[in-house]
Every structure is written in C-alpha cells, then in structure tokens.
C-alpha cells in the first residue's frame, strides 16, 4: 500500500534492532554442532559431541524420560484447559448466569494478574488435597492459572459465531447442548486448535511450578533437568552442551509454533483483548 | 485427655513388632543439600550401611530388605524449600542431610525427631564423635542429629604473588602463626594485596576474592572484630554493633582501595573457582573442601606449592583469628513411620563408622567427625586433611543453633550488601541491623 | 470479536438492541461453568484468600503451617525467666524424675512393653527412682531381656519418666493438666503463662505490615520495581513494540512475517533456555564481553558485574519478551487504519515520517494505553526471568518486589522461610493489581465488553 517509500533504510533499521536476537538464536543453533576456542567468537571445529546426551545418559541425565514427562505435562494441560475453558466460555458468552458481569470482570482481572505470587496459598491447598509433590497437582494448578485466559479466548470465539445458527437449531427443537455440540463447536474449531497449542506450549516451557510444587517427584521435566545442568556451585558447566539440550528441548515448540503460527496470531490477538 | 506422644508412638511401634518374624521391607529415602559431584558419600554412606545391616540381619537369621533412595540437591535454597514444604505436606524423606543450624527451626516446627531417642550415643561408633560436634547437633537439651562432616573455613594466599612482592620463604611460612597470634590482621592483608596490585602482580580489583554469596563465612569477619553470635551460657543471640561496623567498614574499605570490586557479591561461583584455582586472586577465603574442587575440576595442580592457608585474620584488638565450621548433620524426618525412623537412625549410626565416614571426608576434603577417623589409613594418608586438622580445626566454632538466628543472618547479610555496594555507610548499616533484629526478636536478642 | 484495540468498532457494536426483560437463569450455564469454577476456586480464589489470612500471621518455617503444639523447652523456660517468672516455678516445671513403682510398671504394661522385660525391671528396680533418665536407661540396658533396638528400650524407659520438658502436646489442656500433676505448686496464672508461651504454631499479628511500612528496604524495593516496570514498559513493550509494528507495516509481507516470527521467539522459548542464552550473551567468556574485548571496550560479566549493566540486561531481556505483545497488538491496530487515508496523504506529498506522525500515531492512542495497562500488571508480578538471571544482584540492586516476596516466602539460603511476611508482600501486589484492574476496566468501557448474552434460554 505504501509503494512510494524506499525499502532499504527500513531493512537496515530492522536488522540492526533485531541483531541481538538474531545473534542469540543463530549461535544457539550453531553452537550445538561446533566448538570455538576459548575467548573466540567463531567456531573452528565441527563436532557432534554436544549431542551425545541423546544416548549417553551420564552427560545430562535421562533426557528421554524427562522429555516424556514434559510431554505428559503439556498434553495434560491441553486436556484440562481446553474442555474446561470451552464449556465455561460458551456459558459466559451465550447463557444467562447469575452474577455474570461480576464473573466476567473477575476473569478479566485474573487474566491480567498472573497468580505466581500466590504460591504460598497454592501450596497450602495442595498440602490439604494431598497433591503436593505430585505432577497432578502441578497440572491442576497450572491449568487453573491458565483458565481465565482460556475462558476469555473461547468467549471471544463464541461471540463471533452468528447467533442465527444457534437460533435456527433451537427452533428446530434441538436441545441447547446438542446445538452447542453439533453446531457451535465446529464453528470455533480454530479457537480450540489455537488454545490447545497455547496450552501445550505453556505446559512445555513451565519451570517454576514443577520445581516448587513437585521437587521430589519422580517426574523430572526438561526445564528442571536443564536448569540443574547449570545450577550449583561446583560444576564447571558446559554452555554448548546446555544449549544443545536446550535446542532439543525447544525444537518441538518451534515446530508447533511454525505450523500453527497464523492461528496463534489470532489467539495472541484474542488474548490481548482481555 | 492428655495425648502423650511418646506412648502413642510406642503403641504403634509395638504393634508392628508382632509381625517381626515376617520379612521386613523398607525403603529409606535420603535427601541431601549442597551436594555435588565430590560429596556423593553423604548419600552413598547410607547405602553402604544398609548393605551391612542386611548382612547383619542375615547373620542373626532375620530377613531384612532395605532399599535406599537418594536425592541430591546441588544448592541450598531449593533443598531447604523442598524439605520444608515436603515435611509440611507430610511426605518428607526419612533422612535429611542438612546444615546443623536448621535444627532450631525444624525441631520447633516438629518437622524432625530427636535422633537420641533412636540410637545410643554412648556406644560405638557414635561415642567417638567429637563432643563439640555433638554440641552443634543439639538443641533444647536434646541431640537431634548425627554430625556428618566438619570443615574449616580458610584464608588462602597466593604464594607466587607473595613472592613477587618480595616476601621471603620464611615470611610466607610463618604467616599462619602470625595470623593465628593476631599479629597479622585484616588491615595488613588489605595492605599486602594492595601492594600486589600496585606492583602489577595481581590485576586491579582482584587482590581479595571473598565468598560470592551469603554463607557462614561472613560471620568469621564478625568474629574477627570481636563479635559473638550468641551467648555461650544462655544461647541468647547477641548483636554486637561495634563488630558489625568493624566488618562492614573492612569490606567498604577493601572496595575503596579497589582490592575487591563493588559488585563482587553475586559473582558466579564458577568464575570465582576459576580465578581461585588459577591464582588470579592475591588472597581469598573459602573452605577446606574447595581444594578438592579446584584440583578435580579446575585444574589446580600443585596446591601446597601455590597456596598458603591460614585462619581468617583478626580485625582488631577486640577480635581474634578464627574459622567457622559448618557441620552437616543427618536428621530424622517426623513424617516417617516410627519403624522407618528406627531403621533410618540405625543406618545413620552405622554410616558414621570411621572408615565409612572417611570416604566422604577424603573425597570431598571435609574434616572427619571423630578422633578414630583420623586413624583410618585413607584419612591419615591425606596431606591436606592432616594439615587442616592441625592448623585450622582447633580454632573453629559453629554458628548457633537458634531458631531466630535466620533473622539475624538475613539482616547481617543485607547490611553487608548495602555497605559493600556503598548504598549505606558502615555505621548506619550496623545500626540498621541492630534495629531491625531488635524489632523482630525483642527480648530474645541482646544488642551491644 | 470485540476489541479494546479498536474502540470505534466497539461503539458501533454496542448499539445492538438489548432486552430489558430479565431472563431466567440458565441451569445449563451453571453446569457448564462448574468445572471451571471448581478449579478456579481451589487454585485461584482460595490461594488469594489464604494469602490474605497468612499476611496477618507470623507463619514461618519454625511455626510450621497450619499446626502448632504445646512444648515446654529449656530455651522457653530461660525466656520466661528473662520475662520475670520466678526461678522456683521454673525449677518445678523443669523437674524430671524416673520412678519405678507399681503404677509406672502398669503403665508400661498397658502400653505393650514386653512382659519379660518388665518382670526384670520390677525385680531389679522396683521402688527406686533416678534423677537422670540417662542413668535409668543405662541400667536398663544391662538387663538380659532388654530389647535389642535402641528405640524400643528408650520408648519403654520413657514410660517411667515424669517430665514435661520437650514433649509435644497437641492441646493446651493436655499440657496444662500435665503441668498441674507435675508441679502443683505453680499458680494457675503462671501455668497459663507457660502454656500460652509454649505454643509453637503461628499467631495472628500485624507486624508484617508494620515491618514493611518502617524498614528502609521497602523504599528501595518500590523504587526498583518502578524502575523495572517503567523502563521495560516504555522502552520495550510500548516503545520497541510500536517501532517494530510501524517498520514492519512498511516492509513487504514475507519479510515482515519473518521478523515478527523472530520477535515472537523469546515468548515461546522455555524460560530456562532463554535465561541461559542471555547468560551466554552477557557473561565473561560470552558473546558481548568477547566482542567488547576485541574492539577494546570494557569487558566483564555484564549481567552481574555492574549495577548499570545488570539493570540494562535485566530490562532488555524482559523487554524482548514483552515487545512481541506490543508488536502484535499494534500491528492489528495498524491494519485497521483505512488504506485510503494513507494513499491520500501520499498523494498530498507527505513523507513517511509525516505519515507516521500525523496519521498513524494518533490512532495508536488506545492500543498504547491498553498495552501499558495490561503489561503493567504482568510486569509487576513477574519474577521468574529475573530470578533465573541476575537473581536480584549484584548486591540487591536489581531485586524487585515480586522477587523479594518469593524469596522471603519460599527460597533463601538459610531456609528460614517467612511465609507470613511473604504473604504480606504478595498481598500488597494483589491489592495493587486489583485496584489497577478496576481502574482499567473503567477506562476500557467494561460495560460494552460484557453485553448481555445473545440468547437467553
């Protein structure tokens, strides 16, 4: 639309601003296959040594198990967040609820207010439900913290469905639930997909909750394993090994992100509207 | 109705005795804090003891099966958080390996059980443990834990750097005695490393390399300036404002002289280790166990040729050269069953045998827990442990077991940080510490 | 979809006719809401309420959470002595004795101690008493029938002991009754004082807030938090976000989507890895210090080596995550600007800068306000990235309120976890967050967002 302006200065500017990120991510990938002499920027040697953790469990612990655990956490997040949010989102979008306004305001406030500061209270609840130090506890807490976001997103998608569709269904004598399942859910599929991906990403990257709420759990997730590689005062750690494990850990996320990029944009857009 | 805990516990215990004839299976879990690659025997010693106990049971004709599950935390904050929260949620491990100072708060909260109810301290091997170590594991008239190791904290000196500024062999060798007698003070140390910097031997800002994070080490400087952490008679905490001001002043002055950087606190451990091992610092302070790390992981080869080691020098007339030991202790969680605790306690006692404990002491360069241990050939043959035992260990003391000490500890370090970074002047920082500790603890603390 | 980003559209939409009649409550709606309500109640509302309660207690590691016993310890008696309790009373309370008589033997039998062992005890020690429990224990061990396991013997020995010291009672009445039998000469008032002081659990107090209000550290934390939120928000979340959005608005589609993907990466990269990438970027031996050394600039650990660079690092690394938020939002708003308007200005000979300033920026008022509002809240309570990178250092120069609350309550070297104090700090954040949210809801015309449902059956 703005053909008559020069492109070149823009290119320079955008590249300059993005340089730190490009460097960080560029070297992130580069360093997993190479070694650089100490004090040098550029690598001088190609090596697959950093990937040895894939078969040598002594290098970085049992990464496969941790990956599986992380996948379980992430998928469970999807299983909790998506159904619960889509039901609640529908109710809040279409049905007459008592204190609806109040509830909606609450969702908005909670959405904007990440509840990690409430960890002490969360711990107390987990202690009483016997869920402390279990992955189930982490999943439920993490899921609950994501609900305001999920509900708000789904409400947005339901709002966008023309209500004539629903009206027609109801007038044909179908129950409200059938209408919801048969007519409405297919309409909000993009929202469901996007929310699923988002819940997955959120679960996949989570670090704080497993560490604080399930430290002795058998289920070590990748983020905790990864941080153990660098923590502590007596291990001369290996940045390249760490980065390689990190890339291995992040690849599924990047892949998902690339595949679903456009849909995610919708949800980012939707998400920002709360 | 009175609920008498001991009888209830006994009833539970006796209930289980009825089944003693059947095979017994136990899983004993051990969590250990601050435990890295070289200190694996904190947990492994329990496994060795379990092995031995099963054999003994077999000899007696009993069928006993013990599985030991260990988990090591490399840091302290994660570990203590995990132990505390797990205990609150009633799924803590059976055995906890932590610093002795945790006994105060944990015993008050009922998170741990006094180990003296489970083992005899007047039988071997526990009767050979140094009485002063047992003292550090005691609180409120009860022995809560079995000491797992001891150590001394040390002022290290770069011999090449001292030589480069013209110190003679004799001067370097007599340094330890001069420090111990109080003749060579912290002020002299700053002058010395300043001289190294001025003569280009050591890079600016690298003369002095203190510990990079909060830890018991900084209390040594409080003692160097005459501070006492607690009244030895009553156990009451003491805030010595003058000593605080003295130590804050010392570090502020060291920053002023540029022998240590203003932002040194919070440096990565790795960086510190590398500098220490490479001899980049003129003088630095750490612990006896660091030597093992420098040699095993950071490539220091000729320790005795490159590094002189002394007590932490005195700061002024009021203070003394000193060193703090921070024994770790084996503790029993209160969330285990009585049976598990009984087994766990006996495992701990067996793991405290001189030869088993010596494995940890020598591998991680910690000091042993008993006189007998020094006779174990493995231990006796270790030059560093022998030297440290002779030169440093007799002058060590421990931080107090007092559930309120954490408050003082946190306040002291905050004051140190703010005077170090120049945010507050030392006198004001010391006064702030005194005020805030007094405010929080009231009658339970004496301010001098 | 309704949108804050586009208030004009919002206004148009809200003209939809709304019904005046109040429809009956939908039961289905309640059922559909139930799972969400359950989870939110358990893990959101309840923690908020608990935080509110904990904030007014002295809950800590040594008080334990949610339980307290009554224990008389030597230290407690010493403290009571300092507070003026008579030494005769203290003496009486700390009395300990071991008596072997018919009554104690019966007690041991009732508790299930081995009969043969008891017979031996009766034979050897009946009618004797010991001053020190340890003496008694030593004598017991000499008996042939003594249990092998130390624990069994000690538990049995304890049954002959009369002492209140170091014993945990779950109720105050239990301790009180025991004290009465053990030391009848102590007056009820003194006894009550002992029992009260012996409680190990948490007590209600407003001290946390007094401490927050009086300590100097508070001012620094507040200042740091303001600096962190203000700088990150203005420079990155809004500043850089807007800049990127405008620049990418003018670049061809392929390139613009490439760069927006790049800028979204920090948001989706797991936080642990992101933190390490920054360490690699700023630490000694890392990218920037090596680069600086090669061009002759001061080279050190920028993340922790100086206060200024630590702040710069911390703000930048958080800002890079936040920038994508602004980028997406502003891009959306930019696309909503009628193209004709831009064409017209170009025909009029406006330069790009003029176009941005005259046409684009004025339309960005609402999105900017929204990003500011929304991200203030996120930044206020975020600490994970800071914790994993500068960790509040060097010294405590980059410690912000949320990080300090987390550390106070859950993570510090001494393991002295002050849940009560931490909850008080968290509560301050909750209140600030609520107040800000309410203001924002006003600002963004909440009523239009929550228009009544379309079908009310």
Task: Please write the tens of the pLDDT for every residue from B14-53.
Answer: 444 444 445 789 999 999 988 877 888 999 999 999 999 9
Give pLDDT, residue C450: 53
* Contacting partners of chain B (3+ CB pairs under 8 A): A, C
CB contact at 8 A, B186 and B314: yes
Question: Is 80 exceeded by the pLDDT of residue C53?
Answer: yes
Per the CB < 8 Å rule, is A132 touching B86?
yes
* Domain with B438 in it: 153-325+404-447
The answer to whether position B300 is within a domain reads yes
Residue range B306-335: average pLDDT? 93
Compute the distance between CA of residue C125 and CA of residue C127 in angstroms, rounded to an integer: 6
Are B82 and B93 within one domain?
yes
Structure confidence at residue C23 as a pLDDT band (50, 70, 90): low
What average pLDDT does the segment A72-100 reach?
A: 89
For tokens 């609640």, the residue is A88
* C158 reaches B (C-beta below 8 A): yes
Q: Is the pLDDT of residue B387 over 90?
A: no
Choose the closest CB to B89 out of A127, A233, A236.
A127
The H or E element spanning position B238 is: strand B237-239
Of C39, C328, C422, which has the smallest distance from its Cβ to A143's Cβ? C39
Residues C245 and C242: their CA atoms lie apart, in Å, by: 5
List for chain B the helix, strand, coil content (%; round to 5).
Answer: 50, 15, 35
Residues in C closer than 8 angstroms to A204, CB to CB, are 270
Looking at the predicted structure, is the pLDDT value of residue B191 above 90? Answer: yes
**Residue A20: is its pLDDT beyond 80?**
yes
User: Who's near B257: CB < 8 A, 6+ residues apart?
Assistant: B190, B194
Please count the other Cβ atoms lying within 10 Å of the Cβ belonging to residue C337.
15
A113-122, C95-104, C252-261: least confident range: A113-122
Q: Determine the pLDDT at residue C178.
A: 87
Rounded CA gap, B288 and B382, in Å?
13
User: Is pLDDT above 70 for C19?
Assistant: no
> Are β-strands B153-158 and B208-209 bridged in parallel, bridged antiparallel, or unpaired?
unpaired
- Measured in angstroms, the CA of C363 and the nearest CA of chain A are apart by 17
Closest residue to A236, CB basis, from B82, B85, B298:
B298
Least confident residue range of A251-260, B435-444, C309-318, C446-455: C446-455
The question of ipTM being above 0.90 is answered as no
Q: Which of A227-241, B209-223, C305-319 comes out lowest in average pLDDT? A: A227-241
Integer Cα distance of A185 and A191 in angstroms = 10
List the structure tokens of A14: 């955008």
pLDDT of residue C312: 94
Burial of B298 (0-12, 13-18, 19+ CB in 10 A): middle
Please give the Cα distance from B72 to B30 (Å, whole number).
Answer: 8
pLDDT above 70 covers what percent of chain B? 95
Answer whether B94's CB lies under 8 Å from B66's CB: no
Nearest of B314, B343, B346, B306 to residue B250 by alpha carbon: B314
Interface test with B, best of C62, C181, C414 (most B CBs within 10 A): C414
Same domain, B320 and B330: no
Check pLDDT > 70 for residue C4.
no
User: Phi, psi at residue A114, to the nearest 5°?
Assistant: -60, 130
Predicted local distance difference test score (pLDDT) of residue C457: 37
Q: Same domain, yes or no, for B124 and B240?
A: no
For residue A42, what is the DSSP state?
S
Rg of chain B on CA atoms, in Å? 23
- Yes or no: say if A267 and A191 are a contact pair by the CB < 8 Å rule: yes
Work out the pLDDT band at B327, boundaries 50, 70, 90.
Answer: very high
- Top-confidence range, A105-119, B373-387, C66-80: B373-387
Best CA proximity match to B120, nearest among B110, B134, B101: B134
Q: Is there a contact between B185 and B315 (Cβ–Cβ < 8 Å)?
A: yes
Cα–Cα distance for residue pair B366/B389, rounded to 1 Å: 10
Q: Would you call C304 helix, strand, or coil by DSSP?
A: coil
Among A173-187, A232-246, B25-39, the range of highest mean pLDDT? B25-39
Q: B252 with B419: CB under 8 angstroms?
A: yes
Query: A38 contacts in C (CB within 8 Å)?
Result: 285
Q: Could you give the 3-state DSSP secondary structure of residue B335?
A: coil
What confidence score (pLDDT) does residue B21 get? 47
Sequence-distant (≥ 6) Cβ neighbours of residue C145 within 8 angstroms: C114, C116, C117, C119, C120
- Residue A115's pLDDT is 62
Identify from A131, A134, A233 which residue to disrupt to test chain B contact, counting B C-beta atoms within 10 A and taking the largest count.
Answer: A233
Residue B198 shares a structural domain with residue B265: yes
Together in a domain, B289 and B414: yes
Residue C284: other Cβ atoms inside 10 A: 20
Check pLDDT > 60 for residue B291. Answer: yes
Q: Is residue B1 part of a domain?
A: no
- Greatest CA span in chain C, whole angstroms? 117
Q: How confident is the model at residue A236 (pLDDT cuts 50, 70, 90)?
A: low
Q: Are residues B390 and B421 in the same domain?
A: no
Instruction: State which of B140-149, C293-302, C336-345, C429-438 shows the largest mean pLDDT.
Output: B140-149
> What does the alpha-carbon distance between residue C381 and residue C377 come to, in Å, rounded to a whole number?
7
Q: Bridge-partner residues for B24, per DSSP?
A: B64
Element (DSSP H or E) covering residue B26? strand B24-32
Say which residue, C289 or B30, is predicted with more confidence.
B30
User: How far A46 CA lies from chain C's nearest CA (Å)?
Assistant: 19
Asked whether the predicted pLDDT for residue A56 surpasses 90, the reply is no
Q: What is the mean pLDDT of residues C145-149?
A: 88
Q: What local confidence, expressed as pLDDT, does residue C11 receive? A: 36
Specify whether B162 is located in the same domain as B299: yes
The label of the residue with tokens 């998170």 reads B111
pLDDT of residue A231: 62
What's the structural domain count of chain B?
2
Chain-chain contact of B346 with C111 (C-beta, under 8 angstroms):
no
Q: Cα dist. A17→A12, A116, B303 in Å?
A: 9, 32, 49
Q: Strands, E, within B262-414: which ranges?
A: 283-287, 307-310, 323-325, 328-333, 396-398
Residues contacting A25, CB < 8 A, separation 6+: C262, C265, C277
- How much is the CA Rg of chain C, to the nearest whole Å? 34
What integer is the mean pLDDT of C142-161?
88
Tell me: pLDDT of A114 over 80. no
Give the pLDDT band of residue A274 (cuts 50, 70, 90). Answer: very low
Q: In chain B, what is the greatest distance between 2 CA atoms, to the nearest angstrom? A: 78
**Token digits of residue B241:** 């404002």
Percent of chain B at pLDDT above 90? 59
What is the chain C residue with the closest CA to B140? Answer: C74
Q: How many other CB atoms sit within 10 Å of the CB of residue C22?
A: 9
| Residue C447 tokens, joined | 């009523």
The CA–CA distances, whole Å, from C10 to A70, A91, A156, A160, C17 equal 41, 22, 13, 13, 14
Asked if B122 lies within 8 A of C283 by C-beta distance, the reply is no
| Helical spans, DSSP H, in C68-159 | 74-82, 87-93, 102-111, 115-125, 133-141, 150-158
Q: List pLDDT tens digits, range B224-245.
A: 999 999 988 888 899 999 999 9
State the pLDDT confidence band at A268, using cuts at 50, 70 and 90.
low
Length of chain B: 448
What domains sit in chain A, N to C, each tagged with a CATH number? Answer: 62-271 (1.10.3720.10)
Q: What is the pLDDT of residue B22?
A: 58
Question: Which residues in chain B are closer than 8 Å to C59, comparing Cβ atoms?
Answer: none
CA angle C9, C10, C15 (to 5 degrees): 100
Higher pLDDT, C336 or B354: B354
Say what percent of chain C tops pLDDT 70.
91
CB B304 within 8 A of CB B391: no
Evaluate if residue C14 carries a pLDDT over 50. Answer: no
Residue C403: closest C-alpha in chain A:
A117
Query: Could you tell me the residue ranges of all domains in chain C?
Result: 27-55+215-449, 70-197
For residue B125, whether the previous peptide bond is cis, meaning omega lies within 30 degrees of 0, is yes
- pLDDT attached to residue A234: 44
Task: State the average pLDDT for chain C.
Answer: 83
Give residue-wise pLDDT tens across range C207-238: 899 989 988 789 989 999 999 999 999 999 99
**pLDDT, tens digit, 9 for 90 and up, residues B391-441:** 888 888 999 988 888 889 888 998 898 888 887 889 999 998 998 888 888
Least reliable range by pLDDT among A110-114, B384-388, C426-430: A110-114
Q: Across all residues in chain B, what is the average pLDDT?
A: 88
The rounded distance, in Å, linking the Cα atoms of C446 and C4 is: 10
Domain-embedded: residue B21: no
Share of chain A above pLDDT 90, in %: 16
3-state helix, strand, coil in chain A (%, to 5): 75, 0, 25
Residue B13 lies in a domain: no
Categorize the per-residue pLDDT at C374 as very low, low, confident or very high, splitting at 50, 70 and 90.
confident
Regarding whether B115 and B35 lie in a shared domain, the answer is yes
Q: How far apart are CA B213 and CA B121, in angstroms?
A: 36
Chain C hits for B352, Cβ within 8 Å:
none
For tokens 């560093």, name the residue.
B384
- Over C256-283, what HEC string results? HHHHHHHHHHHHHCCHHHHHHHHHHHHC
Which helix (H) or strand (E) covers residue C168, if one does? Answer: strand C168-169
Q: What pTM, to 2 d.p., does this model score?
A: 0.86
Which residue has 């809560």 as its token pair?
A: B144
Q: Of the given ranges (A4-13, B389-398, C35-44, C57-66), which has the lowest mean pLDDT?
A: A4-13
Would you state the pLDDT for residue C415? 67
On the question of pLDDT at B340 being above 90, the answer is yes
Q: Are B346 and B44 in contact (CB under 8 A)?
A: no
DSSP state of C394: S
CB B326 within 8 A of CB B151: yes
3-state secondary structure of B67: strand
Q: Could you tell me the pLDDT band of residue B190, with boundaries at 50, 70 and 90?
A: very high
Please, is B81 exposed, middle or buried when counting C-beta atoms within 10 Å of its C-beta (0-12, 13-18, 19+)? buried
DSSP-based three-state secondary structure for A241: helix
Structure tokens at B357: 């404990």
Q: Taking the domain C27-55+215-449, which CATH number applies?
A: 1.10.3720.10
Q: What is the pLDDT of residues B118-134, one digit of tens each?
A: 999 989 899 999 998 99
- Could you tell me if B218 and B412 are in contact, meaning their C-beta atoms sit under 8 angstroms apart? yes
Q: Are residues B41 and B64 in the same domain?
A: yes
**pLDDT over 70 (residue A113):** no
For residues B408 and B272, state if they share a domain: yes
Residues in chain C: 457
pLDDT of residue C335: 82
Q: What is the CATH classification number for the domain harbouring B253?
A: 3.40.190.10
- Is the pLDDT reported for residue B305 higher than 50? yes
What is the predicted pLDDT for the residue at A112? 61
- B421 and B366 within one domain: no
Over residues A59-63, the mean pLDDT reads 76
Q: Taking CB atoms and an 8 Å cutoff, what residues of chain C touch B234?
A: 78
Residue of B301, B281, B268, B286 lying closest to B392 (CA atoms) = B286
pLDDT-derived band at B97, boundaries 50, 70, 90: very high
Q: What are phi and psi of C202, to 5 degrees?
A: -80, 150
Exposure b/e, A119-143, CB count within 10 A at least 16 = b:
bbbbbbbbbeeebbbbbebbbbbbb
- Asked whether residue B383 falls in the same domain as residue B412, the answer is no
Average pLDDT over residues C274-282: 89
Place of tokens 């111990």: B180
- Boundary-marking domain end, from B398, B415, B436: B398
pLDDT of residue A47: 81
Integer Cα distance of C216 and B395 in angstroms:
37
pLDDT number for residue C311: 93
Higher-scoring residue by pLDDT: B353, C372: B353
């Amino acid at each position: 639309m703005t053909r008559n302006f020069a492109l070149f200065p823009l290119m320079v500017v955008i590249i300059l601003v993005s340089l730190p990120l490009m460097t960080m991510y560029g070297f992130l990938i580069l360093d997993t296959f190479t070694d650089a002499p100490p004090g040098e920027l550029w690598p001088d040697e190609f090596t697959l040594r950093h990937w040895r953790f894939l078969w040598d469990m002594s290098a970085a612990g049992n990464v496969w198990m941790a990956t599986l655990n992380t996948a379980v956490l992430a998928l469970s997040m999807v299983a909790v967040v998506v159904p619960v949010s889509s039901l609640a989102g529908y109710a809040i979008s279409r049905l007459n609820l008592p204190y609806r306004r109040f509830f909606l305001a609450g969702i908005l406030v909670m959405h904007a207010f990440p509840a990690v500061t409430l960890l002490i209270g969360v711990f107390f609840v987990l202690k009483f439900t016997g869920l402390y130090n279990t992955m189930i506890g982490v999943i439920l807490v993490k899921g609950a913290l994501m609900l305001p976001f999920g509900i708000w997103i789904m409400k947005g998608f339901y709002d966008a469905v023309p209500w004539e569709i629903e009206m027609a269904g109801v007038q044909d004598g179908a129950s409200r639930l059938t209408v919801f399942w048969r007519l409405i859910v297919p309409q909000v599929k993009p929202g469901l997909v996007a929310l699923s991906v988002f819940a997955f990403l959120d679960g996949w990257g989570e670090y704080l909750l497993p560490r604080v709420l399930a430290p002795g759990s058998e289920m070590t997730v990748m983020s905790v394993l990864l941080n153990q590689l660098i923590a502590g005062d007596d291990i001369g750690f290996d940045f390249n090994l760490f980065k390689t494990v990190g890339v291995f850990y992040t690849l599924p996320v990047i892949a998902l992100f690339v595949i679903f990029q456009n849909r995610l944009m919708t949800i980012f857009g939707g998400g920002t509207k709360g | 109705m009175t609920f008498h805990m001991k009888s209830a516990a006994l009833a539970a215990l006796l209930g289980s005795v009825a089944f003693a004839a059947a095979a017994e299976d136990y899983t004993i879990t051990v969590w250990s804090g601050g435990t890295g690659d070289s200190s694996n025997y904190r947990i492994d010693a329990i496994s060795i003891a379990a092995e031995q106990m099963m054999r003994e049971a077999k000899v007696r004709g009993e069928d006993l099966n013990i599985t030991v599950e260990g988990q090591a935390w490399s840091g302290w904050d994660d570990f203590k958080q995990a132990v505390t929260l797990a205990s609150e949620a009633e799924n803590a491990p059976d055995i906890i390996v932590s610093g002795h100072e945790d006994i105060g708060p944990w015993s008050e909260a009922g998170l741990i059980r006094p180990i003296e109810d489970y083992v005899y301290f007047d039988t071997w091997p526990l009767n050979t443990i140094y009485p002063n170590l047992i003292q550090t594991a005691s609180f409120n008239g009860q022995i809560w834990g079995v000491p797992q190791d001891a150590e001394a904290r040390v002022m290290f000196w770069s011999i090449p750097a001292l030589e480069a500024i013209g110190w003679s062999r004799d001067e370097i060798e007599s340094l330890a005695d001069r420090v111990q007698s109080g003749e060579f003070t912290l002020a002299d140390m700053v002058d010395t490393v300043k001289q190294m910097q001025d003569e280009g031997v050591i890079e600016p800002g690298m003369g002095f390399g203190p510990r990079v994070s909060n830890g018991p080490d900084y209390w040594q400087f409080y003692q160097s300036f005459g501070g006492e952490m607690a009244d030895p008679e009553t156990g009451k905490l003491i805030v010595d404002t003058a000593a605080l001001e003295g130590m804050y002043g010392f570090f502020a002055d060291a920053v002023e002289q540029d022998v240590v950087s203003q932002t040194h606190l919070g440096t990565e451990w790795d960086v510190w280790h590398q500098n220490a091992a490479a001899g980049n610092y003129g003088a630095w302070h750490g612990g006896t166990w660091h030597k093992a790390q420098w040699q095993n992981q950071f490539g220091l080869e000729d320790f005795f040729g490159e590094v002189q080691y002394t007590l932490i020098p005195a700061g002024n007339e009021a203070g003394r050269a000193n060193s703090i030991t921070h024994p770790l202790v084996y503790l029993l969680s209160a969330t285990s069953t009585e049976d598990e605790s009984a087994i766990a306690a006996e495992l701990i006692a067996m793991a405290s045998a001189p030869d088993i404990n010596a494995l940890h002491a020598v591998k991680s360069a910690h000091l042993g827990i008993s006189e007998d241990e020094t006779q174990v050939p493995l231990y006796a043959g270790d030059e560093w442990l022998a030297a440290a035992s002779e030169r440093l260990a007799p002058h060590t003391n421990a931080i107090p077991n007092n559930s309120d000490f954490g408050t003082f500890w946190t306040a002291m370090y905050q004051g140190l940080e703010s005077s170090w970074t120049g945010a507050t002047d030392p006198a004001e920082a010391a006064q702030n510490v005194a005020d805030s500790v007094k405010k929080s603890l009231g009658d339970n603390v004496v301010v001098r | 979809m309704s949108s804050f980003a586009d208030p004009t559209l919002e206004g148009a939409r809200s003209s939809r006719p709304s019904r005046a009649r109040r429809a009956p409550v939908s039961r289905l709606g309640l059922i559909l809401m139930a799972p969400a309500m359950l989870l939110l109640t358990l893990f959101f509302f309840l923690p908020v309420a608990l935080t509110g309660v904990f904030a007014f207690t002295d809950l800590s590691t040594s008080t334990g959470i949610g339980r307290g016993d009554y224990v008389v310890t030597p230290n407690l008696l010493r403290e009571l002595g300092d507070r003026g309790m008579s030494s005769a009373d203290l003496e009486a309370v700390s009395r300990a004795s071991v008596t072997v008589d018919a009554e104690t033997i019966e007690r041991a039998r009732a508790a299930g101690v081995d009969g043969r062992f008891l017979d031996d005890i009766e034979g050897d020690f009946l009618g004797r008493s010991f001053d020190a429990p340890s003496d008694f224990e030593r004598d017991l061990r000499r008996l042939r029938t003594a249990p092998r396991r130390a624990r069994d013997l000690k538990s049995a020995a304890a049954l002959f002991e009369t002492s209140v010291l170091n014993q945990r009672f779950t109720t105050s009445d239990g301790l009180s009754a025991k004290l009465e039998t053990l030391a009848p000469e102590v007056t009820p008032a003194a006894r009550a004082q002992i029992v009260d002081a012996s409680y190990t659990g948490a007590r209600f107090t407003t001290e946390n807030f007094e401490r927050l209000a009086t300590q100097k550290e508070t001012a620094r934390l507040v200042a740091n938090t303001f600096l962190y939120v203000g700088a990150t928000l203005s420079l990155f979340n809004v500043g850089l976000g807007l800049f990127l959005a405008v620049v990418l608005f003018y670049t061809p589609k392929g390139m613009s989507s490439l760069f927006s993907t790049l800028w979204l990466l920090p948001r989706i990269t797991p936080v642990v890895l992101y933190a390490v990438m920054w360490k690699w970027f700023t630490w000694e031996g890392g990218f920037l210090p090596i680069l600086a050394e090669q061009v002759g600039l001061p080279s050190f650990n920028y993340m922790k080596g100086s206060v200024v660079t630590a702040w710069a690092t911390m703000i930048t690394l958080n800002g890079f995550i936040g920038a994508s938020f602004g980028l997406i939002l502003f891009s959306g708003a930019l696309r909503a600007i009628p193209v004709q308007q831009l064409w017209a200005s170009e025909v009029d000979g406006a330069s790009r800068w003029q176009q941005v300033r005259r046409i684009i920026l004025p339309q960005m008022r609402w999105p900017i306000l929204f990003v500011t509002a929304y991200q203030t809240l996120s930044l206020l309570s975020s600490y994970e990235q800071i914790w994993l990178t500068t960790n509040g250092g060097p010294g405590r120069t980059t410690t912000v309120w949320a990080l300090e609350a987390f550390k106070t309550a859950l993570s510090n070297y001494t393991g002295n976890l002050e849940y009560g104090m931490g909850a008080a700090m968290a509560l301050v954040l909750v209140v600030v967050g609520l107040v800000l949210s309410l203001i924002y809801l006003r600002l963004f015309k909440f009523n239009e967002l929550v228009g009544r449902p379309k079908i009310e059956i």
